[in-house]
Amino acid sequence: MLTLYTAGLMSCSLASHIALEEAGAEYRVTQLDFKAAQQQSSDYLKINPKGRVPALVTERGVITETPAILFYIGQTHPRALLIPGDVFAIGQLQDFNSYLCSTVHPNHAHGFRGYRWSDDPTVIEGLKVKVAQNMRDNFAIIETDYLRGPWVLGQQFTVSDIYLYTIATWLESDGVDVGAFPKVKDHRIRMSARPAVQRVRATYA
């Protein structure tokens, strides 16, 4: 059985949790308490030396990083159709997920984890200044260039939709009005109505 390590609704690990539920996978979840620094415990660091979530424990070993976990879940549960069959569409999926991971997520993290980039309190405070604008710029690109509708890749629901939904739920905390992005807002509403999403969110209540 798969074991997923998560850290609550506002963590990117939510995407992996939803993907497992959408896939109909057999899994269990261990939620870490970041306030208690459980991600830095010696036991967890043996699982993921990065001290972060998500981490997915499989029978063959551990996979970390959201795009990799999402792709693994989709590939190992083909009946769920969470990964497109066309190689170019797979490339587009990887393109989008990489953008979320490498650009959008770090821009969000500047608002509350600036210590990853500097030890200088002034610099850490300075990083917060651009969070809202950077996230607006990122989501403008998603709105106009990525999100085809009704799903990211068009008609097929994929793991990219799960990932987008997870990060889009952070917008208000970043000082961004999701109403400025009608397609993203509609996508978030559509995702919120999915039974798998509702089941997963209920586990964190």
The answer to whether 4 touches 28, Cβ cutoff 8 Å, is: yes
Distance CA(103)–CA(83), nearest Å, equals: 22
In this structure, the number of other CB atoms found within 10 A of the CB of residue 135 comes to 22
| Per-residue pLDDT of the chain in tens (205 residues, 90 and over written 9) | 999 999 999 999 999 999 999 999 999 999 999 989 999 999 999 999 999 999 999 999 999 999 999 999 999 999 999 999 999 999 999 999 999 999 999 999 999 999 999 999 999 999 999 999 999 999 999 999 999 999 999 999 999 999 999 999 999 999 999 999 999 999 999 999 999 999 999 999 7
Distance CA(48)–CA(70), nearest Å, equals: 17
3 state SS of 73: helix
Q: What's the pLDDT score for residue 165? A: 98
Q: What's the pLDDT score for residue 45? A: 98
Query: What domains, with CATH codes, occur in the chain?
Result: 2-80 (3.40.30.10), 87-194 (1.20.1050.10)
Half-sphere exposure of 76 (CA within 13 A, CB side): 17
3 state SS of 151: strand
Q: What's the pLDDT score for residue 205? A: 76
Q: Where does residue 74 fall: left (phi above 0), alpha (psi -120 to 50 degrees), or beta otherwise?
A: alpha
Q: What are phi and psi of 123, to 5 degrees?
A: -65, -40
> Residues in the chain, how many?
205
**Angle at which helices 87-99 and 159-168 pack, to 10 degrees?**
20
In this structure, the number of other CB atoms found within 10 A of the CB of residue 46 comes to 9
pLDDT digits (tens, 9 = 90+) for 124-166: 999 999 999 999 999 999 999 999 999 999 999 999 999 999 9
